[in-house]
Structure 1
Amino acid sequence: MAYRPTEKTRAARARRRAALLDEAGALVATGGFAAATVKAIAERSQLSVGTVYSYFDSNADLLAAVFRAGADRELAATRAAVESAEGPAAQLRALVETFALRAIRGRQMAWSLLFEPVDPRIEAERLTYRAAYHRLTTEILRDGIASGVFPDQHLGVTAAALIGAISESLTGRLSAGHAVTDDADDHRIVESILRFCFHGIDYTGDAPPIRPSASAGTVRRIEGKDS
């Protein structure tokens, strides 16, 4: 008679799989995807390598799931910040500020999500992740253009340019060789990224207010737009 999993055994398996993903995520957050080998995950979980493989088809399958979990978490935080902001200018600020500050505060994970050389399976997930940010940025720009807050421009090109500018401008700050000094450096970096993004879309209005959740000292103005 063939074995048929019960609801209880399915729930237990789901919990074990989630626990393995947590352990893999912890390894990525400290050493990148290169550190999250099946052997290392098995040792952290006090399981055999074979047992870990019983929950995932391959190491690439496991790490792709870890990537999705991390990327979904960051995207959800950014989307929540955007949705809580009022008006396209404030929403664009929220997107840039949340993306950049969360990346800086979780440097290794952000580096892994954005830049670390990875298996093609994970690279495909990265493209999906980037496309989601492109759609979110496009929505903000579309609303801004429709309401007259932003000048008319090519939505696809501008959204791609903004996402590229935000991520690429963080490369040095996120790299392993960068010496972290203090929060003031982080705030100056975010201020510079914000200034570039607003200038890049030819925004001529008053600078949107700082979100209440933003850290003290973060981006108090957009140079040339207010006093």
Structure 2
Amino acid sequence: MAYRPTQRTEARRTATRERIVGAAHDLVARGGYREAAVAAVAARAGVATGTVYRHFPSKAELLTEVFRRASQHEVDATRAAVDALGPGTPAADRIAAGAEAFTRRALRGRRLAWALLAEPVDPAVEAERLQFRRAYADVFARTIADGVEDGQLPPQDPAFTATALVGAIGEALVGPLSPTTHPTDADANALVARLIAFCLRSTTDQELSPDVHRRAA
């Protein structure tokens, strides 16, 4: 008779897997992918190295799962910042809110953001990075499309514009997020303001509104 895992054993297996993923996430957030060696992950999770490999046949598969979850969390947070303003809010303000959330969250969690955006990775993780950028672009594309439809924004291809915005924001963050740099709060605020201004100039004929100025200060 084939072995069938019980509900209890399956729950333990799931709990162990989550502990492993959580441990790997903590190590990546602290020191990048290099710090998340399988032995280090196992030690932090309180399991044997072999247990890690039973759940994830390779380190690449483990880091891909960590990347997928961490990036989805960041995309969801950016989407929430945009949605919090409500559909009646001007499209320009919603674009600004998305750019600000993206940038400020990256600057607050610099080591993790560097891992998500720029750190050299395994090809499997790099494939997830492309999906990550597309997901971010979808957040902006939806807002831009709404603005075009309502006549608040000039005619444009929302998907193309959104992809360009996300690429520009990500590239602008590479230097400030690098482990060798240490930006001050003033540097962070200036970067947020510049990126919001760039996003507005790229999608509208507007500059920073007084409300956006206050948020970026």
- Alignment TM class, shorter chain as reference: over 0.9
Aligned 8 A contact 1:187 1:217 in 2 = no
Report the equivalent of 1:105: 108
Report the equivalent of 1:201: 203
Change (3 A) 1:29 1:92: same
Q: Tell me how large the CA RMSD over aligned residues is.
A: 1.8
| Residues 1:167 and 2:170 aligned together | yes
Residue deviations 1:85-107, cap 9 Å, x none? 12311210111000000000000
Report the equivalent of 2:32: 32
Aligned 8 A contact 2:147 2:153 in 1 = yes
- Counterparts in 2 of 1:1-227, with a 5 A limit? 1-85=1-85, 86-181=89-184, 183-204=185-206, 207=209, 209-210=211-212, 218-219=215-216
Question: Per-residue deviation at 1:55?
Answer: 1.2
Distance 1:33 1:55 in 2: 18
Distance 1:170 1:83 in 2: 23
Question: Per-residue deviation at 1:144?
Answer: 0.8
Letter in 2 for 1:186: A
Identify unmatched segments of 5+ residues in structure 2. none
Letter in 2 for 1:219: A
Aligned 8 A contact 1:149 1:205 in 2 = no
Identify unmatched segments of 5+ residues in structure 1. 211-215, 221-227
Aligned 8 A contact 1:21 1:66 in 2 = yes
Question: Per-residue deviation at 1:10?
Answer: 0.7
Letter in 2 for 1:200: S
Q: Which structure's residues are more often helix, by fraction?
A: 2
Report the equivalent of 1:225: none
Letter in 2 for 1:117: P
Residue deviations 1:46-99, cap 9 Å, x none? 322111111112111111110011001101111111111123112101110000
Structure 1 length-normalised TM:
0.88
Distance 1:202 1:28 in 2: 38
Q: Percent identity, please.
A: 43
Aligned 8 A contact 1:31 1:108 in 2 = yes
Distance 1:205 1:75 in 2: 25
Letter in 2 for 1:82: V
Change (3 A) 1:143 1:217: closer
Distance 1:77 1:19 in 2: 23
Question: Per-residue deviation at 1:208?
Answer: 7.2
Residue deviations 1:15-38, cap 9 Å, x none? 111111110000000111121111
Question: Per-residue deviation at 1:180?
Answer: 2.9
Count of residue pairs brought into register by the alignment: 214
Change (3 A) 1:168 1:205: closer
